[in-house]
Chain A
Amino acid sequence: MSDRFSSSPLVQLTLARFREFIREPEAVFWAFGFPIIVSLALALAFPSRADRAVIVGVHPGGDAESLRATLNSSAGITVREISQDEERNALREGRVNVVVIPTDPPTYKFDPAREESRLARAVVDDALKRAAGRTDPFTAREEPQEVAGSRYIDWFIPGLIGMGLMSNGMWGIGFGIVQARMRKLLKRMVASPMKKSEYLLAQLIARLTFLPFEVLAPLLLGVIAFGMPVNGSVGAIVVVTMVGALSFGALGLLMATRARTIEAISGLMNLAMVPMWILSGVFFSSGNFPDAMQPVIQALPLTAMTDALRAVILDGATLRQVTSELLVLAAWGIAPFFIALRLFSWR
């Protein structure tokens, strides 16, 4: 580092923020360790869908004897004995996907609102009809394709990276600033000839220095532990995550423009982030929401972030193909930065 470079205020302000962060072990854990734990837990909860059998509940006792035998001998079905009193609870909690009662014809109890319940009904229906002597007009030739990248965990990890960039960006910057304001450090800084824009910019740049770790940790976990494919270029991933980190950082600045207490900033953060966790398709596809909401959902920075990351990582999209997402992110970065600079309370 040359002397002139290292003695520039922007470099010193950035270094200060960076040091404050890495010297806070808890913050480091929540930023890097936590996302990995979440991915591991979700990978256990959502194994690859293909090898998962439907779970069919059948009442115990002699009446259901032959039904149990038929179902047990059918592929893709796991039978679980369930008493009549328990069946409602079992269905609700997902312990069974469908309950079959050996009436004539048989009765299916299932929840049509749940995809896995409808699927189980179809599988059971098929198995029982075939056992009862149905002849199929044809048996289709099946070519099962194990497409890497189509599993839930593959789909989830880019979302997790996006969510991590959002949380770390907003909390990291928002908290740091509110704390500095509470400690009257902001006031002390503006009593010096410091340029205000440089202070805010330094917060954003310091964020970028953590980016390699925040992105690499979940990405490597996906590749090494789950064999997730990375089809896009490293350059594209770098650009998308950098633009995303900057725009979430700028949102953090915006949240922290006036907040004077940790409670106030926490409330604002949750107000901004919780809707995005739900709407932006981190845990489940945002396509589940009605069409009328889609324009709003697509305009959210986290939607743009996760869509762009999935496109690049899973589909191997180029930067040109995710231009619209990058533009949404850039807009969310630039506007909040300048609004924050204007409205910022330094006292």
Chain B
Amino acid sequence: MENIDRSEMAVRCERLRKTYGPVVAVADVTLSVRRGECFGLLGPNGAGKTTTIEILEGLLTPDAGDVEVLGLRWAHHSHDLRQRLGIQLQETQLPDKLTVEETLRLFRSLYPRGRTVDELLAIVELESKRTSRVGRLSGGQKQRLSLACALAGDPDLLFLDEPTTGLDPQSRRQLWTLLDQFRAAGRTILMTTHYMDEAEFLCDRVAVVDHGRIIALGTPKDLIAKLGAPKVITHNGTLEDVFMALTGRHLRDE
């Protein structure tokens, strides 16, 4: 792999492996995320993206392999790490009965330092929903609130698991802009997605994951140049082409 000084690494993992009985969720994943970059894990459903990111988030313990986040290890520094990470999980449903403001106050209280509730509301543009119950928010608004919760501790590194799945195009665009701003402020993002346009728009580098392995790694441009282009004659190549070329066109079950 690339030859980079370790101190520049926000996330580094080697030879990760995680199985559930006979099912191999993560077979062999080695990757590094540089500080200040937006790194995407791209792959079809069931490819092992979520398992990988949850191992990196310290929520799952790998069967084998080595993980270092912000130069620290989960086994010894989990308390420090938790304070410096922002995490958005794929399926979290925040309590419906709480208001937006109450939810943010709750999450903010869990961090020793961070942004104020007003700042968070401004960042995700939910000021007008401050007193609304979470249960009455639209999908896009919920997702922005969930992002605001992840930003409550003013994290150095943000983990996002399929942040825009199920959202309408406007809401997706709005979230992309927010994430772009976060990265522009010099912070690091590691995200999973199965949307090619999202990875192309947001990510500096992407790793294509399938069957628990990384099958391609590089900038979106490189990947398109290397793998997508030959397949495509009539239009400019996209990551979609790369993805299809690598993971096949057949439908997959979960």
- A binding-site residues for B, Cβ under 8 Å: 7-9, 11-13, 15-16, 19-20, 23-24, 180, 183-185, 187-194, 347
User: Interface code B46-90, partner A: CB below 8 Å = 1, 0 otherwise?
Assistant: 000000000001110000000000000000000100110101010
Interface centre among A16, A183, A194 (most CB of B within 10 A): A16
When the two chains form the complex, which single residue of A12, A24, A180, A191 contacts B109, counting CB atoms closer than 8 Å?
Answer: A12
Q: Is the CB of A193 within 8 A of B107?
A: no
Q: List 27 A-B contacts (CB under 8 A).
A: A8-B109, A9-B110, A11-B109, A12-B105, A12-B110, A15-B102, A16-B98, A19-B97, A20-B95, A20-B98, A24-B97, A183-B92, A184-B91, A184-B92, A185-B92, A185-B94, A185-B95, A188-B87, A188-B89, A188-B92, A188-B94, A191-B58, A192-B82, A192-B111, A192-B152, A193-B82, A193-B153
Size of chain B's interface in residues, with CB distance under 8 A?
29
Q: Is the CB of B102 within 8 A of A194?
A: no
Is the CB of B19 closer than 8 A to any CB of chain A? no
Q: For residue A23, which residue of chain B has the nearest CB?
A: B97
When the two chains form the complex, which single residue of A24, A183, A184, A192 contacts B110, counting CB atoms closer than 8 Å?
Answer: A192
The secondary-structure label for the interface of chain A is: helix
**Chain B residues with Cβ under 8 A from A24's Cβ?**
97
Known: A16-B102, A192-B82, A192-B107. A187 touches B95 (CB 8 A): no
**Chain A residues with Cβ under 8 A from B133's Cβ?**
23
A-B pair number, CB within 8 angstroms: 73
When the two chains form the complex, which single residue of A13, A180, A191 contacts B87, counting CB atoms closer than 8 Å?
Answer: A191
**Chain A residues with Cβ under 8 A from B82's Cβ?**
191-193
Q: For residue A22, which residue of chain B has the nearest CB?
A: B97
Q: Is the CB of B92 within 8 A of A192?
A: no
When the two chains form the complex, which single residue of B85, B93, B109 contacts A9, counting CB atoms closer than 8 Å?
Answer: B109
Is the CB of B244 closer than 8 A to any CB of chain A? no
Q: Is the CB of B57 within 8 A of A191?
A: yes
A11-B111 Cα distance, complex, nearest whole Å: 14
When the two chains form the complex, which single residue of B91, B106, B111 contacts A16, counting CB atoms closer than 8 Å?
Answer: B106
Is the CB of B248 closer than 8 A to any CB of chain A? no
